[in-house]
Amino acid sequence: MRTCTHEHMRNNVYMLYTIFVGNISSSCLDCICQTESDCQNAPCKQDLGSLSCGYYQIKEAYWIDCGKPGLSWESCAQEKSCAEYCVRANMSRYGTYCTQWRTPTCKQYGLIHNGGPKGCQRSNNKYVKKMRRHCSGILVG
């Protein structure tokens, strides 16, 4: 008989939510993960006056925007399935808002992730160059 732990149930819930939340492709999500941390569970570090943590370098305000999934901001950022849910939720929430209701490109999703709800409307050549280095096979503009 298989024992179902709280952790296992929580991961299944995130996977189920992922099916319904956000149109960002898995390859684009992986591109952002590679760009942010080489898709490693990076320790929290100071970034522009606040801490960024985990696979996607998630800040507390970003975690609040995605609905506060998981046990806490830091634990969610450091648990890949929770962090992915958070990124998908924010891309679902802000993706077409930023692009004036057009489907965002992976480059635009990356700029939203890095620069906030209107990030795709701002130029961030440093982040785009970093995306290009980490995202072979994905057109990022």
Q: How far are the Cα atoms of 2, 6, 55, 128 from residue 110, in angstroms, in the given order?
A: 39, 32, 14, 8
pTM of the entire structure?
Answer: 0.82
Residues annotated as catalytic are 36, 47
Q: With 50 as the cut, is the pLDDT of residue 36 above it? A: yes
pLDDT digits (tens, 9 = 90+) for 39-98: 999 999 999 889 999 999 999 999 999 999 999 999 999 999 999 999 999 999 999 988
* More confident of the two residues 34 and 5: 34
Q: With 60 as the cut, is the pLDDT of residue 141 above it? A: no
Alpha-carbon distance of 95 to 116, in angstroms, equals: 10
Q: H or E stretch including 47?
A: strand 45-47
Positive or negative CA dihedral for 104, 109, 97, 119? Answer: negative
Alpha-carbon distance of 79 to 90, in angstroms, equals: 17
